[in-house]
Amino acid sequence: MSKFKKEKQKSPERLVLALIENGHFEDSLLLLDQWPDKTDVIYLYARALALFGTGSRADEANQVLQSAFASNNYVLPVMVEKVNKVGASTGAKSKKVKPSAKTMMAKESPQQGKARKYVELWFGSWLQTEAAFDWLGNQFVEYTRATRLEKLKAKQEEMLKNMKILDADFFLN
C-alpha cells in the first residue's frame, strides 16, 4: 500500500512533465499553481520551463529560473555532465577515462542528489522545448555573474567599513 501512495504522490510531477513534453505549457502551469511546495526544486525548474515554453512570459520565466538557481544551482552542471557522457559514448574513437580515486571517493551533497534525480526525469523535456537548454545556460551565466558581483560588492563594503574603523583608531590614538 505504501508503494502505491509513493507513486500517487509523484503522479502530479509526471503529469506536468507529460504536458510540458507535449507542448501544453499553459495547462502545465495550471497544475503547477496547485503544487504544494513552491520552493521545491522540481516546481521551480518545471515552472520556469513551462513559462519559457509559452513564448510570451520570458520575464517571469527568467525570474523563476533565477529562484531555481538560488534553490539548487547543480541542475545545469548535471545536465551538461549528462550531455558530455552521451557525446563521449557516441564518439567513434572516444577513450574511456578511468575515474581517479578522488572522484570515486567524492561524496555527493544532498543538493547534488536532488539535481541528479530531477535531471533523470526532466532532462528530455529541456531538450525537447525549443531553445530551452540554451536559455538555461545563458541564464545560469547571468546568475553566476550577478552572484559574483554581489560577493565582490559585499567584500568592498566590508573593506570600506574596516578602513573607516582603522581611520578612526588612527586619529583617536
90's grid cell: 557516441
Domains delineated in the chain: 2-86+107-172 (1.25.40)
Residue 46 near residue 68 (C-beta atoms within 8 A): no
Residue pair 48/18 in contact by the 8 Å Cβ criterion? no
The alpha carbon torsion through 95, 77, 7, 15 (nearest 10 deg) reads -110
pTM over 0.75: no
- What is the residue-level pLDDT of the chain in tens, covering all 173 positions? 445 444 444 568 899 999 999 999 999 999 999 998 999 999 999 999 999 999 999 999 999 999 999 999 999 999 999 888 877 776 655 455 555 444 445 688 999 999 999 999 999 999 999 999 999 999 988 888 877 767 667 777 777 777 777 666 666 66
